[in-house]
Amino acid sequence: MHSISVNNLNKDFRIYARPQDRLLELLLRQPRHRVFHVLQDISFDVMEGKSLGIIGDNGAGKSTLMKLLVGTLQPSSGTVNTKGQVAALLELGAGFHPEFSGRRNIYLNASLLGVPDDDIAALEEDIIEFSELRDFIDRPVKTYSSGMYVRLAFSIATMVRPDVLVIDEALAVGDIAFQRKCVQRMNEFRAQNKSMVFCSHSMYHVQELCDTAIWLEKGRIREMGKSEEIVARYEDYCNSRRSYTKAEEQAKALESESSAVKAEQAEKDKTPKDARIIHTVVRNTDGEIIDTVEPLQEVILELQAEILNDNSICYFGFALMKDLDEVISAYLGTDRPDVEHGPFRKGEIITVQLRLDAMALRVGNFHVLGGINDASGLLWYETKLSKEITVKTSKGLGVFVMKSEWKVDHN
C-alpha cells in the first residue's frame, strides 16, 4: 500500500522582468512573462513504513517538490496523493504566529495538522519536554533563534504521530545534541511503520534514515533507487565536479608559465585516481547485508570498488569507528603478501571481503570505514563509510568483549 503516490508531476513558475508586467499582462491579455520549469515529469511512490530521501544540488527543485507533497503548492499538472495525516517541517517558522507564545503556537500548529484541542492538551507537556524550551515557552516566538524554532516545530510535528512525516533540511540549524534526539525520534517513527520523506544535503543522514533516494537534477529525476547506491553515485559526481573546478583554477594560475610546463601540469591534472569505492557494507555469513550484530558474531566486511586506470595497484583496508567520533577502534589492511593487490584493469569491479571470526564490540553503534590506498600507504584514493551498525547489548562491562575459553584446574 502506498503512503505517497506521485504521477507525472510538473510545476512551472511565471517569471516577470518587472512587477508592473503582471498588471499589463492582465489588462492587455498578452503574455509578458517567461515560463520556468521547476519540476518536470516526476513520478514515484513511497510505500507504507518506508522512507524516501531527496538529494540534489541547490536549485534542483527539492524544496518545491516537498511543498507539493504537503499541499502548500499546487502542481501545474500531474497528481500527488497521500494517505493519512501528513506533518511537515519546511521553511523555518512556517505555521507559527510570530506574536504568539510558544505555548499558543503549539495549539495553532497542531490544530493546522488536524489534532483536536483535547488531544493537544494531553500532548502539550511532552512537546515542551522534548523541545527543551520550558524556560522560553511563554515568550513570543519572534524572540526565538532559528534553532529554537526548529526544536518547537519538530517536537510538534513528531509528537502528534502523523502517518507521513515530511522534513526539508530543518535539522541543519539545530545543535548536535538535539540533532541526535531528532534522528532517534525519526528512527522510532520508522519503527512504528510510518512513512517519511527527508530532504537534506547531509548524505550521511539520507543514507542512515532512508530506504530509497531520488537524485533531482534541474527539475528532473536523474536517478532513483536504494539510498546507499544513489548517495554513493551523487557523492562521486560531486567529488569529480570539485576536482574539475580545481583543475580549472590551476590552469588559470598557470597561464603565465611556459607552454611546456603548462602541458606537463595539465597532463597531471587530468589523471584520475586509480579507484573509487562503490559501497562499504557488513554482511552475515549467509551473505545478507545487516545493520545489527550480536557480540562475538561472525561477520563479513565488504568493500566494492571500480578500477579507473589500467595496471592499478591498490591496497584495501577496513577501520571500525565507534559513534563517528573519528577515533579508529581497530584497523585491518591488505598490506600483506597473501592478498592480491593487482595490477587491475580499468573498468574492473573488485569486491574485497574480510571475515571477522568474532565481533569484539560489546555494545553500542559503530561504522565500518572502507578505504583504498596506494602501495606507500600515504595516498588514499578514497574512503567510504558503511551504514551505522548496532551491536546488541550483552552482559558485562567495557566496550569490548573478547572471544575466550576458560579453564580452571584443581590441584
pLDDT at position 239 is 62
**DSSP per residue, 30-89:** S--EEEEEEEEEEEEEEETT-EEEEEE-TTSSHHHHHHHHHTSS--SEEEEEE-S-EEEE
Instruction: Count up the domains in the chain and report the number.
Output: 2
Q: Are residues 82 and 212 in the same domain?
A: yes
175 in the same domain as 289? no
- Hey, what amino acid is at 89? L
225 & 277 share domain: no
* 290, 355: one domain: yes
Query: What are the grid coordinates assigned to 251, written together?
Result: 590552469
407 inside domain? no
Give the DSSP H or E segment for 123. Answer: helix 117-131
Tell how strand 328-333 and strand 349-356 pair up.
Answer: unpaired
What does the pLDDT read at residue 289?
92
201, 229, 257 - which closes a domain: 229
Asked if the structure places residue 13 within a domain, the reply is yes
Give 300's strand partners: 283, 355
CA angle, residues 70, 73, 76, in degrees to nearest 5: 120
β-pairing verdict for 77-82 and 51-56: unpaired
Q: Report the relative pairing of strands 220-226 and 315-322 from DSSP bridges.
A: unpaired
Taking only the tens of pLDDT, the chain with its 411 residues reads 788 999 999 999 888 888 888 888 888 888 888 888 999 999 999 998 899 999 998 889 998 999 899 888 899 999 999 988 888 887 666 678 889 999 998 888 888 777 777 788 888 888 898 888 889 999 998 898 888 888 888 888 888 778 898 888 766 656 667 777 888 888 888 888 889 999 988 887 888 788 999 999 999 999 999 888 888 788 767 765 654 444 445 445 544 444 544 444 444 444 457 888 999 999 999 999 998 998 889 999 999 999 998 988 899 999 888 765 566 788 888 888 888 888 999 999 999 999 999 988 877 788 899 999 877 665 677 888 888 888 887 666 667 788 888 899 987
Which of 173, 208, 229 represents a domain boundary (last residue)? 229
Q: Are residues 10 and 156 located together in one domain of the fold? A: yes
Rounded to whole angstroms, how far apart are CA atoms 174 and 182? Answer: 9
Q: Are residues 121 and 23 in the same domain?
A: yes
Domain annotation covers residue 285: yes
Cα separation, 11 vs 61, whole angstroms = 9
- In whole angstroms, how far apart are CA 335 and each of 36, 61, 152, 332, 342? 55, 46, 51, 9, 12
Domain end marker among 229, 256, 283: 229
Q: Are 232 and 278 in contact (CB under 8 A)?
A: yes
For residues 213 and 278, state if they share a domain: no
Q: What's the CATH number where 281 sits?
A: 2.70.50.60
Cα separation of 225 and 231, whole Å? 10
Q: Are residues 92 and 144 in the same domain?
A: yes
- The Cα–Cα gap between 120 and 102 comes to 13
Question: How wide is the angle at C-alpha 81 spanned by C-alphas 162 and 182, nearest 5°?
Answer: 30
In the sheet with 51-56, reading across from the earlier edge strand, the strands are 86-89, 164-168, 195-199, 51-56, 212-217, 220-226
CATH of residue 20? 3.40.50.300
Whether residues 214 and 305 share a domain: the answer is no
Q: How far is it, in rounded angstroms, from Cα 329 to Cα 366?
A: 9
302 with 158, same domain: the answer is: no
Q: Is residue 380 part of a domain?
A: yes
The domain in which residue 374 lies consists of 273-391
Does residue 343 have a cis bond before it (omega within 30 degrees)? yes
Q: State the CB neighbour count (10 A cutoff) for residue 293.
A: 19
Q: Check the CA dihedral 374-376-380-383 and report its sign.
A: positive
6 in a structural domain: yes
Same domain, yes or no: 97 and 203: yes
Q: Look at residue 103 and tell me if it is in a domain.
A: yes
The C-alpha atoms of residue 288 and residue 388 are separated, in whole angstroms, by 16
113/41 same-domain check: yes
